[in-house]
Structure 1
Amino acid sequence: MAIPTAVTPVAEIFELRWKVLRPGLPEETAVFPEDSAPGTFHIAAYDGSRAVRACVTFFPEPLPGSGGRTPAHRFRGMASDPSVRGRGFGRAVLAAGIAEARSRGAGAVWCHGRTGARGFYEREGFTVVGEEFEIEGVGPHVVLTRALGDGAD
Structure 2
Amino acid sequence: MTIRTAVVDAAEIIPLRWAVLRPGLPRESAEFVEDRRRETVHLAAYEGAGERVLACVTLFPDPLPGQPAPAWRFRGMASDPAVRGRGFGVAVLAAASETAGARGARLLWCNGRTGARGFYERQGFAVAGEEFVIEGVGPHLVFTRKIVHSG
Structure 2 residue aligned with 1:36: 36
Please list the CA deviations of residues 91-135 of structure 1 after superposition, one character each: whole Å capped at 9, or x if unmatched: 001101110110111111000010000110000010000000000
Structure 2 residue aligned with 1:76: 75
Structure 2 residue aligned with 1:128: 127
Root mean square deviation of aligned Cα = 1.1
What is the one-letter code of the residue matched to 2:64? L
* 3-state SS of paired residue (1:117): helix
Paired with 1:2 and 1:72, the residues of 2 have a C-alpha distance of 30
Query: Pairwise mapping of residues 12-51 of structure 1 onto structure 2 (< 5 A)?
Result: 12-48=12-48, 49-51=50-52
Which blocks of at least 5 consecutive residues in structure 1 are unaligned?
none
Which blocks of at least 5 consecutive residues in structure 2 are unaligned?
none
* Aligned positions, number: 150
Structure 2 residue aligned with 1:116: 115
Deviation at 1:63, TM superposition (A): 1.2
Scaled by the length of structure 2, the TM-score of the pair is 0.96
* 3-state SS of paired residue (2:54): strand
Please list the CA deviations of residues 18-59 of structure 1 after superposition, one character each: whole Å capped at 9, or x if unmatched: 010000110000010100112100000002422100000000
Scaled by the length of structure 1, the TM-score of the pair is 0.95
CA contact (8 A) 2:40 2:59 kept: yes
Structure 2 residue aligned with 1:8: 8
